Amino acid sequence: MRLHVRAKTGTRVEETAALCDHVEEVIRRTIPAKELESIVDNVGLPTSGINVSYNNGGTIGPFDAEILISLNRENHHATESYIRKLRHDLNLAFPGVSFFFQPADIVSQVLNFGLPSPIDIQIVGRDQVANYHITNEIADQLRHIPGAVDVHVQQMFDLPSLQVKTDRTKVQEVGFTQRDVASSLLIALSGSFQTAPSFYLNPDNGVSYQVAAQVPQYHLDSLQTLAGIPVTGPSGAGPQLLGNLASISRSTEQAVVSHYNVQPVIDVYGDVQGRDLGGVAKSFAGIVHAAEKKLPRGSSIIVRGQVETMRSSFLGLGFGLLFAIALVYLLIVMNFQSWSDPFIIITALPGALCGIVWMLFLTRTTLNVPSLMGAVMSIGVATSNSILVVTFAKERLAETQNPFTAALDAGYIRLRPVVMTALAMIIGMVPMALGLGEGGEQNAPLGRAVIGGLLFATVATLFFVPVVFCMIRTRGDAETTGPAATETAKTT
């Protein structure tokens, strides 16, 4: 599990670390010790810029933290149940702190395309202030949608800041420049190593140490002490106090500025719980459509994340499923040199589709990419069994010249091969359908779809396909023998 903790904007990293300790206490009370393997806290931003480039956790400052929770590989309860309980307990225990879970497995991260949540409603435009108000309205409405959880606005606009406005006239009068003021302030607050790196070589061990001058942070506890920072410049000019050359005021600003395709964006992230992603996406479609009418000129709304992937995947797999049925039908037509026999064969496929829907409904499994892949697999096996029955029925029809007897013999004699083929596939899919093993919940929909489709398809193959064969063949024989009998009667 990957839990993100966001304290009030402007919280120091030490206070965020202390908050994580209290959060860990709640986690340890919720998850038994025998099921918990490890807890790792990542507080604040990483020190390296490379890590920031590859970070998809949504961490934007020292008030953010990421808690990675690892469960034992064996003998632990469902991960989703713990996530549901932690969502409830943490929000009650820590009011004013935002908690949201992020994808911890590689499959969800890939489907999200690097985003920290499956739902991303993104407002693109230059008017950040107006877009931010509309974003908050969308987030408030999204929180009332059943199944939508962890809804939050990624960008924060209330980061406390101090504005230092330099009086350039006074600075020039004392012989300084704007650069001198900025460098002195940077050295006092961040250390001299950024502007003038210096090293000390220890002669005893031969190790070079960084040497930096910086005002202790605990001394900068008011605006008066900040105004008392000395400003130095050229050797001919004496030092001055910052308060004599600049005015200091409090304000707020954006904690992070995000861009996508060069354009500045504001993101509303969200997750789902107890409901399928497609249902939640359908519910907030109206909210997005209404918000588009309020956007300032030049702004637009884009829905990204796993919602975008889901729509494109469903569209592709839907066409793929229909194309698979049509391709199978045409291949059988080429093999049988007939249009009616392939039609009889594919009459088992509606039973397979019904079985898939019923199995997903009974197991409370959503229709997703793995279940659609299982549907394609079950259609292939169902078609194979149906071909076995129809081929044998055609052979018996050539011998007996009786469609009813041929259909009855096909269903009776081919019972064992069809059942054995279906059972072999079903039994092989049972462990996958139960979700056993680490990460088994991801592939469970595939196994359940295959099992449900083959159960219904086998019944349809053994009972429904022979009936259709008998009806079509009987009607075809009647149409063939009818004109001949009429001509014989006229001749007589």
What's the pLDDT at 490?
A: 41
In our burial notation (b when 16+ CB lie closer than 10 A, e otherwise), range 397-412 reads beeeebbbebbbbbbe
Instruction: Summarize pLDDT for 378-414 with one digit per residue, the tens.
Output: 888 888 888 888 888 888 888 887 888 888 888 888 8
Question: Is residue 322 classed as helix, strand or coil in its secondary structure?
Answer: helix
What's the pLDDT at 429?
A: 85
Query: Could you tell me the pTM of the whole model?
Result: 0.71
**CB neighbours of 289 closer than 8 A, spacing ≥ 6?**
none
Percent of the chain with pLDDT over 70: 93
Considering the domain delimited by 159-253, tell me its CATH architecture: 2-Layer Sandwich (3.30)
Cα distance between residue 67 and residue 78, in whole Å: 19
Considering the domain delimited by 1-102, tell me its CATH architecture: 2-Layer Sandwich (3.30)
What's the pLDDT at 94?
A: 92
Q: Which residue reads 């506890």 in tokens?
A: 221
Give the residue, 430 or 55, on which the prediction is more confident: 430
Instruction: Summarize pLDDT for 228-251 with one digit per residue, the tens.
Output: 888 887 766 788 888 889 999 998
Query: 6 pLDDT band (50/70/90 cuts)?
Result: very high
The answer, yes or no, to whether residue 486 has pLDDT greater than 50, is no
Whole-Å CA distances, 131 to 71, 121, 254, 487 = 40, 12, 13, 84
The torsion of the CA quartet 80, 449, 418, 382, rounded to 10 degrees, works out to: -160
Cα distance between residue 362 and residue 232, in whole Å: 76
Q: Average pLDDT for residues 29-53, to the nearest whole number?
A: 80
Query: 485 pLDDT band (50/70/90 cuts)?
Result: very low
Query: 489 pLDDT band (50/70/90 cuts)?
Result: very low
Cα distance between residue 406 and residue 238, in whole Å: 112
The answer, yes or no, to whether residue 279 has pLDDT greater than 70, is yes
Hey, do 1-102 and 104-157+262-305 end up sharing a CATH topology, with the first three levels equal?
yes
Q: Name the residue among 314, 312, 315, 347 with its Cα closest to residue 329.
A: 347
What's the pLDDT at 51?
A: 60
Residue boundaries of the structural domains of the chain = 1-102, 104-157+262-305, 159-253, 338-491
Considering the domain delimited by 338-491, tell me its CATH architecture: Up-down Bundle (1.20)
Cα distance between residue 415 and residue 409, in whole Å: 10
Cα distance between residue 159 and residue 9, in whole Å: 5
Q: In this structure, is the dihedral angle defined by the CA atoms of residues 278, 279, 282 and 287, taken in order, positive or negative?
A: negative
Q: In this structure, is the dihedral angle defined by the CA atoms of residues 295, 299, 305 and 306, taken in order, positive or negative?
A: positive
Token pair of 484 as six digits? 């001949």
Cα distance between residue 37 and residue 120, in whole Å: 32
Query: 140 pLDDT band (50/70/90 cuts)?
Result: very high
Give the residue, 196 or 452, on which the prediction is more confident: 452
Select 104-157+262-305's CATH number: 1.10.3720.10, 2.40.30.20, 3.30.70.1320, 3.30.70.20.
3.30.70.1320
Q: For helices 306-336 and 277-292, what crossing angle results, to 10°? A: 120
